Amino acid sequence: MFFHNKGLQFEASPSKPDPIYAGRLQEVLGGQWGEMTVAMQYLLQGWSAHMPGKYKDMLLDIGTEELAHIEMLATMIGKLLEGAPADAQQKAVDGDPAIAAVMGGMNPQHAIVSGLGAVLKDSNGVPWQGSYVTASGNLMADFHYNVTAEMQGRLQATRLYNMTDDQGVRKMLSFMIARDTMHQNQWLAAIQQLKDDGLEDLPVPSAFPQSKEDQSVSYQFWNLSTGTESREGQWAQGPSPDGKGQFDYLENPGPLTGEPRPPLPAKELYVTGNAAGVVSGVVDKVKDALT
Amino acid sequence: MFFHNKGLQFEASPSKPDPIYAGRLQEVLGGQWGEMTVAMQYLLQGWSAHMPGKYKDMLLDIGTEELAHIEMLATMIGKLLEGAPADAQQKAVDGDPAIAAVMGGMNPQHAIVSGLGAVLKDSNGVPWQGSYVTASGNLMADFHYNVTAEMQGRLQATRLYNMTDDQGVRKMLSFMIARDTMHQNQWLAAIQQLKDDGLEDLPVPSAFPQSKEDQSVSYQFWNLSTGTESREGQWAQGPSPDGKGQFDYLENPGPLTGEPRPPLPAKELYVTGNAAGVVSGVVDKVKDALT
Amino acid sequence: MFFHNKGLQFEASPSKPDPIYAGRLQEVLGGQWGEMTVAMQYLLQGWSAHMPGKYKDMLLDIGTEELAHIEMLATMIGKLLEGAPADAQQKAVDGDPAIAAVMGGMNPQHAIVSGLGAVLKDSNGVPWQGSYVTASGNLMADFHYNVTAEMQGRLQATRLYNMTDDQGVRKMLSFMIARDTMHQNQWLAAIQQLKDDGLEDLPVPSAFPQSKEDQSVSYQFWNLSTGTESREGQWAQGPSPDGKGQFDYLENPGPLTGEPRPPLPAKELYVTGNAAGVVSGVVDKVKDALT
Amino acid sequence: MFFHNKGLQFEASPSKPDPIYAGRLQEVLGGQWGEMTVAMQYLLQGWSAHMPGKYKDMLLDIGTEELAHIEMLATMIGKLLEGAPADAQQKAVDGDPAIAAVMGGMNPQHAIVSGLGAVLKDSNGVPWQGSYVTASGNLMADFHYNVTAEMQGRLQATRLYNMTDDQGVRKMLSFMIARDTMHQNQWLAAIQQLKDDGLEDLPVPSAFPQSKEDQSVSYQFWNLSTGTESREGQWAQGPSPDGKGQFDYLENPGPLTGEPRPPLPAKELYVTGNAAGVVSGVVDKVKDALT
Amino acid sequence: MFFHNKGLQFEASPSKPDPIYAGRLQEVLGGQWGEMTVAMQYLLQGWSAHMPGKYKDMLLDIGTEELAHIEMLATMIGKLLEGAPADAQQKAVDGDPAIAAVMGGMNPQHAIVSGLGAVLKDSNGVPWQGSYVTASGNLMADFHYNVTAEMQGRLQATRLYNMTDDQGVRKMLSFMIARDTMHQNQWLAAIQQLKDDGLEDLPVPSAFPQSKEDQSVSYQFWNLSTGTESREGQWAQGPSPDGKGQFDYLENPGPLTGEPRPPLPAKELYVTGNAAGVVSGVVDKVKDALT
Amino acid sequence: MFFHNKGLQFEASPSKPDPIYAGRLQEVLGGQWGEMTVAMQYLLQGWSAHMPGKYKDMLLDIGTEELAHIEMLATMIGKLLEGAPADAQQKAVDGDPAIAAVMGGMNPQHAIVSGLGAVLKDSNGVPWQGSYVTASGNLMADFHYNVTAEMQGRLQATRLYNMTDDQGVRKMLSFMIARDTMHQNQWLAAIQQLKDDGLEDLPVPSAFPQSKEDQSVSYQFWNLSTGTESREGQWAQGPSPDGKGQFDYLENPGPLTGEPRPPLPAKELYVTGNAAGVVSGVVDKVKDALT
């Protein structure tokens, strides 16, 4: 269970309002790679972790921290929205290009819906959703997702840093960017730890016997776009990162089998091709197989 | 532009129909980590790549291959659905537990909507969507996403492999699992290549000067869940994977700042707290700052 | 069944076009709290009502009225969009700040997609959806939802009223705001009626015996955020509104149970923690319990 | 910011696994009225509250508690899924009706995607989304939403209670149902508190002058469905709950205005009706009005 | 505005309950091609119609009828759900395959969420959404959408007809299928009427001068999949349906231009490829072009 | 399977950047009627086609072409975004109306999320989704959908053509508009071909015996909106397009049945109306019918 301290993890106070920028900042709160995603994801991975101990504890530590980041962003967005124009707009648009730009560029829901508060949506007003989150039960697979989440998150935060010259906003972002640095490193260290602990290896899931996969194509690069520049990468030659194969470049690949037989129509579904009854015998055969 | 060969990349032919399993298989076609995601993602990353050459070519090679995987799955799903019961269900449910299970367990849209064809949805019938895809312009961040996509994809494919004993389905999955092995390795190799080529480094984005981030917390682990098991991982001590810091364990963290001042109400928005007019002077000050 | 009269319930005619405002107005047509929501919700509650008589009739009366409000808004939006710029934009943006603001601020789909007509989307272009609607079969629960729908709706309409000085728009909004006044009152009266008719009481659902709930915590306030200001409200002391308990303030709450045992891994799912087979015996025991 | 205690707020341990019921329980975790909704909603209302003090503190107290409920449900769902069948299904379906029912009825993503862990989705696998949440800045409007959320939540929990006879599940639900009792009462008390504190009144928002609304229809019931049973409710006669009007029953209502003039076509948008150029003069007039 | 008559357009009364089938029937209420789609679409097209007269009147006639179909389906679904099992499920599943199938196959939200009432969702529980609706302002384009909506709708209704042997359900469906027959014919007649009235022609929009399109490819079939069976259709030879061209079969098509120059990176966005500063000069040139 | 040629089908190169227009252009890439829709739809219809031969081949030819159109649009959008402002915005907004308009009007995700690349979303940033696609197995129904898709697509492309005066953009659009001309004609020819080949007829699905539909209403127009202008269309009189009936105008229609009996409450679901137990006998009777 959780306890809340009203103090913020870090100060969230802009030098002055900026309603357009408030809309931009929604991206890292409620976007695909925003704080909602990482908070709920790390907590869910922690709650579903199939082993007690350091991994589960670490997941819950960081998930709990990300909740604080949602709070900081919601606070900052509220303050950036202060004083946004809420009265007759046409007049403003006609008379003043700066206000016109604010009217045109701010998220209208910030005024109409939330009364100048943050929303759980991205910078275009699209709601955050539970399918942004991944918790597969396989920590190696999930930790790689966590790495990219922190990379995308830091990338977006640095872009937002460059989009403002407000010192208060930049101060908060400099804290969040530093935490993303930590978390990128943390997940990379955790991936190494999983290997060192013998819990998982490449390719994921390593417990599935590779003898059951079609090993003739396990390390083969298929050149399917014109040009052979792709041959020049280390993904097309030399040993594979899992240490279990040698990359091989298939320069002129083609289909390994012919055109498939079309699926057989079921008469009661009125699909095109069943009118002449040509295929009905086959359908009966399929029905026999099913029952 | 693209050219299509009617031959399948690999055979997609089940031993016999299995409408419930057809619904399960939708997950790797139209789910969060299905072939739609990787196909569109690699192509989009390729089209948006900011450099010609081996990276772009490789992205387009593999994106083009994933289109073939969508095709194989759509073909397989169509065949698994052949002969699915399409007539009066109540009778069937009453008389035969096996058919009852099929009626209860198959995706109803496979009969009603698509006439026993695949749909671009996941195993619960939720439509695939463009926000599953990531293409940030930063290849290091995106390649880590690609690694996890192939890990989640292989994990799901192996689980589906275990959920059937149909030899035809397993044969196709053994091919797809092998390709996931290749692609996991490929993206890991590509990450190394980016480093070797000096194009990107950790933390991502490496071109943002770390001097601008709050370096006091860049390598600090915050212990926010009870217990200190998280101290035992290599993410809490020793050198960080980016080679630029030493992890540091903050056992008893607390807020770095106090409770934030609430955002100021705008009178015309009728938010609670503005009735007494106490804060109106402040609002005017904020308005001045804005204009 | 329904009959349509081409006359509008109330006049919907702006003094002059305003394409940006047309986009704003979409919120109360196709947003979470727009007319689509209340129309479909009241009708659905009426169709699903489990008793004939005054409640069902009233629900169908008001649901039918809300359809007229959708019509008024669609009409108004169409007129506000008249004359929106539909030709070469770059030139306009360069030369005229007012047109630039329109180009930047209007919903692009109003021009590209709907040909200057309304859409069933909110003010950010996010489609209206059926999950905004609630009809639980329990009228007390649903009437409270209806109250808040009318409060949010009136709140948004008054904010929109303040955002324009167009007399035609304001006239229509003054009608809709008055109807929201009526409907807020109507649902509050209906809640009282349900109580007076002995059909439902607090807590909802009142037919579930409170003896089956854990009565030790039924009226207990848990103080989980720093500070004890929350103790000062009438929700933390004195009799509870349902007349069945006394509020009680738990100043220093903590977990009532310890850390849960992690869920046991199933080997075929390749979750982390099953590699060493340590827990396999437990899994078998669980399987026995299941079958 | 937040702190996490690994102890659960209350025990979450079923007597035995039940994968179908695990899918059902997702509704109160990630559905429209699940714990995700109330947790994020109360926190967001708290962070956006425009006054310090008892309201804000109370919102953060209860929002923090709801996070613990998400955790309890995720834990319970994980345990209910233990031992779910993960191997060849066709055989099972053929041989055993109970397992057939499980295969047909369990959420396939619990096996394929999450490895027997909870997901942030409802009982049909539809992702939770940020648009379930409401925080308008007007506490009276929002507290009514909170009441209905707790009513819908308690209603669903009691239905789920009746759908199982597992004593462990019922024990946890009896705790959650009791907390819903508390929270229903809490929000009703908070609504009264807002009135007693003079912060808001009916109709919401009370600060909007009713003189600006069309008062001729502010308390008028429109009978738009056949039959006049609706006249019998206290919403159609007598004083209105806001104490500011008398209900009035309009038995034979009709449109207050005629058929609207159609919106005028813009030629470059190729809408039907512009071919003959009949209306072009009017369009020009509209354009003049706009610029 | 609308008026409601409590009589149903046609009887909606099943012979006996069937909760699984109730879930199937949701498809034609709240699915992509369900009655919600056609009702809202025809009304919206009518409200946005840019000419008074027969087209607008016809659109409003049929849109109003479709509201009655939503009502019939909601009524039927409610009755099909009557008596659905709402108590302890595990016992039922163990003992009785028929009830097990119902528990596994019915939409869980019908019990938990709506209390055995219809929902505005499809047969998989995915909410209906406003983006299913199309109203472009161009009646020729939209009437073709309306034709397909009635075709898909009739197709789904006939499939559902075959999936039940309940005489009450079939009776209602036989009415709805007949109305789909009418409406298919109606839209096809309306398309002809538009041509006869000289309001629109092929290709849509006919008012866009074909001289502005690249006429070298206006009637050219590109053979991009192996095999030339596509040459055999009347889409590849002979006069085109618009009467303005001759189809032409391009057997061996290829790209008309070379590989595009990659988009130029903006340094502050940290896209891969900008590290060496090679391209910065070009970027400046682009910036000059922009401003 | 597919092969990719790095040459573009047609040149996609703007004269100069235009970030706002880049956002507009997203509509025809990732909107309801964008190239993603037609590409995936034609391919899916082809893969699911139940007959080999000219129809299947044709579907795969055109689906493959549409992939090239996605590529062209992604390329164009990337180039239009070049040089978009990515640094401190407030300053720009204050000083320069043109840049202010760009900041307010461009899609913020183009800068923050994709690093100036295209996204799989519409012009408001709403993700493309798999439910835009239709493949019913009945080619006549689907080909009508394909016609409207090409009409809506061409309509949107011509509107976008008029919204820019950039010669490079217009050149690419003139190619795409011409292809839409071809594809409209192609689908109309294919509809005729289906009839000529005797594969399907009107009403769709023609294999469902019309004797099973309620033929008393199969060709009857219901006048449900005031006015009888709708009588003047050829949809209300004369022979029906399917050649099987005569249209008939029902001027004063009314319900064919009375008010339906409300659905019976199940006690354990706590729906309103079950408190007094009045209806319990009926419920038992329904339960008997079910089992």
F1 reaches B (C-beta below 8 A): yes
pLDDT tens figures, B51-61 = 889 999 999 99
Are E255 and F7 in contact, with CB atoms under 8 Å apart? yes
Q: How many CB pairs under 8 A join E and F?
A: 419
Mutate to test the interface with F, among D126, D151, D159, D173 (most CBs of F within 10 A): D159
Question: Does residue B20 have a pLDDT over 80?
Answer: yes
Q: Which residues does D195 contact at the CB level (< 8 Å), separation at least 6?
A: D201
Residue B280: the pLDDT is: 44
Q: Please list every residue in chain A whose beta carbon sits closer than 8 Å to the beta carbon of residue E155.
A: 270
Are E60 and C6 in contact, with CB atoms under 8 Å apart? yes
CA nearest to E164 within chain A: A268
Q: How is D230-267 classified by DSSP, letter by letter?
A: GGGSTTSSSB-TTSS-B-EEESS---SS-PPPPPPPPG
3-state helix, strand, coil in chain A (%, to 5): 55, 5, 40
C-alpha A100/C-alpha F99 separation (Å) is 12
**Distance set, CA A220 to CA A89, B46, B62, C10, C11 (Å):** 61, 20, 11, 69, 69
Q: Which two tokens stand for residue C216?
A: 């030790």
Mean pLDDT value across residues D87-113:
72
Amino acid letter, residue A141: A
Across the interface, whether the CB atoms of E225 and B3 are under 8 A apart is answered yes
Angle at F226 between CA F261 and CA E180, to 5 degrees: 60
Give, to the nearest 10 degrees, the angle between helix E167-196 and helix E19-30: 10
C-alpha A158/C-alpha A280 separation (Å) is 63
Across the interface, whether the CB atoms of F48 and B8 are under 8 A apart is answered no
Residue A264: the pLDDT is: 77
C-alpha F80 chain-centroid distance: 26
pLDDT tens figures, F109-132 = 999 999 999 999 999 999 999 999
Say how many C-beta atoms besides its own lie within 10 A of residue C288's C-beta. 10
Are B106 and B19 in contact, with CB atoms under 8 Å apart? yes
Going by the DSSP 8-state scheme, the letter that residue C17 receives in this structure is -
Are B18 and B82 in contact, with CB atoms under 8 Å apart? no
B288 pLDDT band (50/70/90 cuts)?
A: low
Phi-psi domain of D78 (left: phi exceeds 0; alpha: psi -120 through 50; beta: other):
alpha
H-helix or E-strand spanning residue A102: helix A97-105
Amino acid letter, residue A109: Q
pLDDT tens figures, F160-211 = 999 999 999 999 999 999 999 999 999 999 999 999 999 999 999 999 999 9
D233 pLDDT band (50/70/90 cuts)?
A: very high
Are E124 and C142 in contact, with CB atoms under 8 Å apart? no
Distance from CA of B89 to the nearest CA of A (A): 13
Mean pLDDT value across residues A21-32:
97
Residue F264: the pLDDT is: 77
Question: Does residue B85 have a pLDDT over 80?
Answer: no
Residue B276: the pLDDT is: 41
Count Cβ atoms within 10 A of the Cβ of residue A196 and give its class: 0-12 exposed, 13-18 middle, 19 or more buried: exposed
Specify the 3-state DSSP secondary structure of F239. Answer: strand
Residue B266: the pLDDT is: 73
Question: Does residue D275 have a pLDDT over 70?
Answer: no
Return residues 151-190 of F near D (CB < 8 Å): 155, 158-159, 162
- What φ, ψ does residue C7 adopt, rounded to 5°? -65, 145
Question: Does residue D281 have a pLDDT over 90?
Answer: no
A100 pLDDT band (50/70/90 cuts)?
A: low
D182 pLDDT band (50/70/90 cuts)?
A: very high
Bigger pLDDT: B85 vs E105: E105
Angle at A21 between CA B272 and CA E283, to 5 degrees: 175
Question: Does residue B100 have a pLDDT over 70?
Answer: no
Mean pLDDT value across residues E117-129:
97
Say how many C-beta atoms besides its own lie within 10 A of residue E273's C-beta. 23
Question: Does residue B95 have a pLDDT over 70?
Answer: no
Going by the DSSP 8-state scheme, the letter that residue B26 receives in this structure is H
pLDDT tens figures, A107-120 = 999 999 999 999 99
Nearest to E2 by CA among E47, E34, E32, E36: E47
Which has the minimum average pLDDT: A125-129, C287-291, D226-230, E7-11? C287-291
Across the interface, whether the CB atoms of C48 and E113 are under 8 A apart is answered no
Question: Does residue B45 have a pLDDT over 70?
Answer: yes
Return residues 240-269 of E near D (CB < 8 Å): none
E276 pLDDT band (50/70/90 cuts)?
A: very low
Mean pLDDT value across residues B163-184:
97
F107 reaches C (C-beta below 8 A): no
CA nearest to E255 within chain A: A226
Q: Which two tokens stand for residue E97?
A: 């395959």
Mean pLDDT of chain A: 90
Q: For chain D, what is the radius of gyration of the CA atoms?
A: 27
B275 pLDDT band (50/70/90 cuts)?
A: very low
Specify the 3-state DSSP secondary structure of C52. Answer: coil
Mean pLDDT of chain E: 90
C76 pLDDT band (50/70/90 cuts)?
A: very high
| Long-range residue pairs from A178-181, CB within 8 A, at least 24 positions apart, any chain | A178/B213, A178/B214, A178/B215, A178/B216, A178/B217, A178/B218, A179/A65, A179/A69, A179/B217, A180/A150, A180/A151, A180/A153, A180/A154, A180/B203, A181/A154, A181/B203, A181/B210, A181/B213, A181/B218, A181/B219, A181/B242
Mean pLDDT value across residues D207-228:
97
Bigger pLDDT: C217 vs F90: C217
Residue F277: the pLDDT is: 43
Are A116 and A81 in contact, with CB atoms under 8 Å apart? yes
ipTM score assigned to the predicted complex: 0.92
Q: Which two tokens stand for residue F211?
A: 């004797």
Question: Does residue F256 have a pLDDT over 80?
Answer: yes
A91 reaches C (C-beta below 8 A): yes
Specify the 3-state DSSP secondary structure of E2. Answer: strand
Residue A272: the pLDDT is: 87
Question: Does residue A225 have a pLDDT over 90?
Answer: yes
pLDDT tens figures, C152-177 = 999 999 999 999 999 999 999 999 99
Across the interface, whether the CB atoms of D86 and B225 are under 8 A apart is answered no
Which has the minimum average pLDDT: A159-173, B228-242, E268-282? E268-282
C-alpha A151/C-alpha A157 separation (Å) is 10
Nearest to C181 by CA among B266, D133, A87, D246: D246
Residue C87: the pLDDT is: 67
Bigger pLDDT: F33 vs A270: F33
Residue C274: the pLDDT is: 64
Nearest to E101 among B52, B100, B112 (CB): B100
Are C283 and C270 in contact, with CB atoms under 8 Å apart? no
Residue E264: the pLDDT is: 77
E290 pLDDT band (50/70/90 cuts)?
A: low
Residue A34 C-beta-side C-alpha neighbours within 13 Å: 30
Residue E285: the pLDDT is: 54
**Distance set, CA C49 to CA B192, C42, C145, E75, E114 (Å):** 63, 10, 15, 10, 11
Cis peptide before F108 (omega within 30 of 0): no
Mean pLDDT value across residues C36-60:
95
C-alpha B74/C-alpha D144 separation (Å) is 48
C-alpha E24/C-alpha C95 separation (Å) is 57
C-alpha D247/C-alpha A94 separation (Å) is 43
Question: Does residue C205 have a pLDDT over 90?
Answer: yes
Q: For chain B, what is the radius of gyration of the CA atoms?
A: 27
Mean pLDDT value across residues D106-118:
94
Nearest to D90 among B164, B225, B255 (CB): B164
Residues paired with B239 in a beta bridge? B246
Mean pLDDT value across residues B254-275:
84
Residue B263: the pLDDT is: 82
Give, to the nearest 10 degrees, the angle between helix D139-162 and helix D19-30: 170
Nearest to A71 among D47, D118, D119 (CB): D47
